[in-house]
Amino acid sequence: MDEINNNDTKSNSRRSFLKKFGIGVGIASVASVAGFSLAKGNNGNSYSGDMVKLLTPDGKLVEVPKEAIQAVKLDTDKMKEEARKGLSGKKFVMVIDLAKCKNARKCVDACQEGHMLPKDHEWIKLYLLQENSETSRYWFPRPCFHCDKPMCVSVCPVGATYKRHDGIVLVDNERCIGCKFCMTGCPYSARVFNWKDPEVKMPEGHVYDPELTIPPIEGTVGKCVFCADRARKNELPRCATACPMGVIYFGDLYEDTVTNGVETVRFKKLLADRGGYRYREDLGTLPSVFYLPPTQRMFPVERGIDNQTDEIKERYKKAGPR
């Protein structure tokens, strides 16, 4: 009997030890996997017992004490440094199929919403063009062309606007002094001046990101950024995903592939088969935006004019991008 009691006592002690040890391993694993510091608990402070489930970067579901969760501080200097470098091994290009465009203006709306722009502030504009009196009119979406030889960059006196290795041209609004030299240097008038701060409320904890460029800052210059923040996540620009007709293709020149989200095609073959071209290539700026000519158009050009502001209707009366 004494031997049995001794065995029970040893067994209980072992279970108690394993139980305590097991809890310790659990906490250690959570701390190691999730990257949270439990120093507060180890220093004697007690937790309420409220646990929160979290998904770790490697896909594991873990539980951590609610009090142990700490907000991650974003390194804005590092964000700016990465924004200036761009994505290695990439060269982004855009192809716009003029035969498909019916002036739905969904690209404009999505761009304005995504970058918190007022309605009279357009980074991508639509124009109604006609080559001559004997040809038909067609819609012409015009974003920033992200030129390989950008005149806007060469004239900026403070280095606020710059071109990255992946071909995207950005503006650091926190460095921009509002001199407008870049606006004068751009032959396509693709830049706009922020005359006032946006009348929108920023999300709590918002940190300025040059790849997203929100909010626009009063007294600085803004423009289409090829949705660099989405490119970093391997996503299409907002204008491309919003277009109901699949007008806008986006992709990587090095991979020779572009897509509108529905159709994925070879970039060079598409240009060769459809006679793709750059707008005003004679200027020698080498735009990263290419156009497919408006042959065999899918919609009559008269669509999309109604229900627009007088300023937009007036723009449609003029020939040529402004």
Q: Which range in 17-31, 33-47, 167-181, 286-300 is most confidently predicted, on average pLDDT? A: 167-181
pLDDT digits (tens, 9 = 90+) for 299-320: 777 666 666 777 777 777 665 5
> Does residue 215 have a cis bond before it (omega within 30 degrees)?
yes
Residue 60 confidence (pLDDT): 79
Rounded distance between C-alpha atoms, residue 175 and residue 171, angstroms:
8
CA 295 to each of CA 136, 137, 228, 266: distance values in angstroms, whole numbers, following the listed order: 10, 11, 31, 20
Confidence of residue 154 (pLDDT cuts 50, 70, 90): very high
Q: Which of 100-109, 232-241, 294-303 has the lowest mean pLDDT?
A: 294-303
Across 29-46, average pLDDT: 46
pLDDT score of 2 more than 60: no
Residue 116 confidence (pLDDT): 87
SS3 150: coil
Quote the pTM value: 0.74
Q: Which of 74-83, 92-101, 160-169, 235-244 has the lowest mean pLDDT?
A: 74-83
pLDDT digits (tens, 9 = 90+) for 261-292: 999 999 999 999 999 999 999 999 999 999 99
Rounded distance between C-alpha atoms, residue 92 and residue 165, angstroms:
10
Q: What backbone torsions phi and psi does residue 7 show, to the nearest 5 degrees? A: -65, -40
Q: Which of 35-44, 80-89, 192-201 has the lowest mean pLDDT?
A: 35-44
Rounded distance between C-alpha atoms, residue 202 and residue 200, angstroms:
6
Rounded distance between C-alpha atoms, residue 155 and residue 152, angstroms:
6
pLDDT digits (tens, 9 = 90+) for 102-129: 888 999 999 999 998 888 889 999 998 8
Rounded distance between C-alpha atoms, residue 162 and residue 97, angstroms:
28
- Residue 254 has, within 13 A of its CA and on its CB side, a CA count of 9
Residue 74 confidence (pLDDT): 64
Residue 302 confidence (pLDDT): 66
- Considering the chain, what is the average pLDDT of its residues? 82
Rounded distance between C-alpha atoms, residue 175 and residue 158, angstroms:
7
Residue 41 confidence (pLDDT): 54
Note the Cα 312 to chain centre separation in Å: 26
* Concatenated DSSP letters of 212-256: T--S--TTSEEE--TTHHHHTTT---HHHHH-TT--EEEEETTTT
Tokens 């991979």 belong to: 255
pLDDT score of 42 more than 80: no
